[in-house]
Amino acid sequence: MNARARQLDLLNRTVRDIGSDLNVSFEFFPPNTPEMEKTLWGSIERLAPLKPSFVSVTYGAGSGTRDRTHGVIKRIQNDTGLIAAPHLTCIDAGREELIDIAKDYWESGVRHIVALRGDLPDNSKKPDMYANDLVELLKGVADFDISVAAYPETHPEAPNAQFDLVNLKRKVDAGANRAISQFFFDMDSYLRFRDRCVAVGIDVEIVPGILPVSNFGMLKRFADMTNVHVPDWMGKMYEGLDDDPTTRNMVGANIAMEQVKILRSEGVNDFHFYTLNRSELTYAICHTLGVRP
Strands 205-210, 112-116: pairing kind:
unpaired
Q: Is 75 exposed, middle or buried (0-12, 13-18, 19+ CB in 10 A)?
A: middle
Distance of CA 127 to the CA centre of its chain: 24
121: left (phi over 0), alpha (psi -120 to 50) or beta: beta
Candidate list 27, 136, 266, 280, residue with the active-site label: 27
- Is 27 one of the catalytic residues? yes
Say how far apart CA 125 and CA 127 lie, in whole Å. 6
Say how far apart CA 4 and CA 11 lie, in whole Å. 11
19 touches 254 (CB < 8 A)? no
DSSP one-letter string for 83-121:
-EEEEEESSSS-HHHHHHHHHHHHHTT--EEEEE--PPP
Single out the residue of 262, 253, 198, 283 nearest to residue 18, CA to CA: 262
62: how many CB neighbours lie within 10 A of its CB? 11
Helix (H, G, I), strand (E, B), or coil: what is residue 136? helix
The angle at the Cα of 255, spanning 9 to 241, to the nearest 5 degrees, equals 125
Single out the residue of 225, 270, 222, 280 nearest to residue 249, CA to CA: 280
Say how far apart CA 181 and CA 210 lie, in whole Å. 9
Say how far apart CA 162 and CA 283 lie, in whole Å. 36
The set of catalytic residues is 27
